[in-house]
Structure 1
Amino acid sequence: MNGYLVFEQEAKEVVEKYKELSFKIEDGVPCIFGSLILSNEYGGIEDSYQVEIKPVDDYPNRFPLVFETGGRIPRNIDWHIFEQTGNCCIASPPEEIIICNNGITLTSFIDNQVKNYFYGQIFRNQNGYFLKERSHGNKGWIEFFEESFMTDNIFNIEFGLNQIIEGKKIDRVSMCFCGSGKKYRKCHKKSYDVLSKLSLDNVKLFLNALRETNEYKIAVYQRNQLIIR
């Protein structure tokens, strides 16, 4: 079943739960549209945004496209809006793939990813910056791997991704592969379990992309300079 049909079926549950949202098919593309109400900690209305949500071909293996249609958010990447396409930047690619591989529905996507995105916009409007903001582009998903592997050493990230590709079974009481001196179960087991949700092809793709980033090339240059000295 293609992504459009899955999206259309799940849209019924969404409009039943969110009375301010409606469903339509426009030029053959199913679409959820209307007001997304965001509640405060007391159950009242914190704010609301006008949105449109449309499927991609391979939904639910990738996120639907989310658009803020009320003109409240500037159309530029500093506000986490893709300038050319106009859709919201909800998560970094590896995070998106892991979330989708764990299983999403349109309702869970709105409840978690979409609402959190717009709560982040409220925070920026009130404070002038995003809370726990990721960088744009490659740096953003590198930061995801830094958090996952608990290191900002890009070569340790490279090594960790290679461990996943090799698919070796690691004994939970053995020493962690990262060289920390800690038992694996108390160090990188959780990271490994999370990142193992990525397919082997995905991990290879991100590893190759990592090696093409300026951050990696600079790190290689600096390491080589130390070796020469």
Structure 2
Amino acid sequence: MNGYKIFEEQVTAVVEKYKELSFKIEDGIPCVFGAIILADESGSIEDTYQIEIKAVIDYPYSFPLLFETGGRIPRNIDWHIFEKNGNCCIASPPEEYILCNTGIDLLQFIENQVKNYFYSQTFRNQNGYFLKERPHGSKGWIEFFEETFMTENIFNIEFGLNQILEGKKIDRVSDCFCGSGKKYRKCHKKSYEVLSKLTIGNIRLFMNALRDTNEYKLAKQNQFLG
């Protein structure tokens, strides 16, 4: 089914729950627009942002485009806004691919990704820095792989991605492929399961991109010199 149609079908639940949001079709693209209200645990309003969410053709297997339309957030990447199109940078590419692996729901997208994004913006406005912020570009998704593989060794990340690319079925009681000496079930089983949600095409893309980063090239140079 066309991604626009799926988006439009999911709008009903959104506007029923969020009365400040409305639906429109602009230039043939389904959109949700209006105010998103952020509340604390007691229900008191902490902040409000004017937003627009535009469908994309491959929705729900990729995020719709999120825009802050009230002019409160500077239009630059340091504030997690893409300067070219003005849409919000919500997650690193591998995280988005994993979250969208089986398709996302618009209501859950708003409650999880959208509201968390704006809570972070409010935190930065109040404190001068983001509570948790990934670096931009390749450093951001390398950091994601570092967290997932529990290592800062770029060659271990490369090796782990290659294991997933080869699609090897690993016995949970066998020694972990990372060489830690631990049993797989107590080491990288969860990492493997998370990253296995990426397609073979995704893995190849990130493998090639990893090898093309300055971080990888510098590590290779240091390895050669060492």
TM-score range (shorter-chain normalised) is over 0.9
1:59 is aligned to 59
- Structure 1: which 5+ runs fail to align? none
* TM-superposed deviation, 1:103: 3.2
Sequence identity (%): 76
Q: Please say if 1:184 is aligned against 2:184.
A: yes
In structure 2, C-alpha distance between the alignment counterparts of 1:56 and 1:214, rounded to whole Å:
32
Native 8 Å contact 2:38 2:45 kept in 1: yes
Partner of 2:132: 132
In the TM superposition, residue 159 of structure 1 has moved relative to its aligned partner by 0.1
Counterpart in 2 of 1:209?
209
> For residue 108 of structure 1, what is the aligned residue in structure 2?
108
Distance 2:24 2:196 in 1: 37
TM-score by length of 1: 0.97
Q: How does 1:140-179 map to 2 (within 5 A)?
A: 140-179=140-179
Aligned to 1:193: 193
Rounded to whole Å, the distance in 2 between the matches of 1:26 and 1:94 is 30
Q: How far apart are the structure 1 equivalents of 2:191 and 2:122?
A: 30
* Runs of 4+ residues over 4 Å off in structure 1: none
What's the offset of the Cα at 1:204? 0.9
Give ranges in structure 2 of 5+ residues lacking alignment: none
For the aligned residue pairs, the C-alpha RMSD in angstroms reads 0.7
Structure 1: distance between partners of 2:128 and 2:221: 36
In the alignment, what sits opposite 1:15? Answer: 15
**1:101 aligned counterpart, secondary structure:** coil
Distance 1:182 1:128 in 2: 41
Q: How far has the Cα of 1:24 moved from its partner?
A: 0.6
Matches of 1:16 and 1:38, distance apart in 2: 17
Query: Distance between the aligned counterparts of 1:211 and 1:131, measured in 2?
Result: 30
Distance in 2, matches of 1:70 and 1:132, equals 24
Q: How does 1:4-43 map to 2 (within 5 A)?
A: 4-43=4-43
In 2, distance between residues paired with 1:191 and 1:127? 33
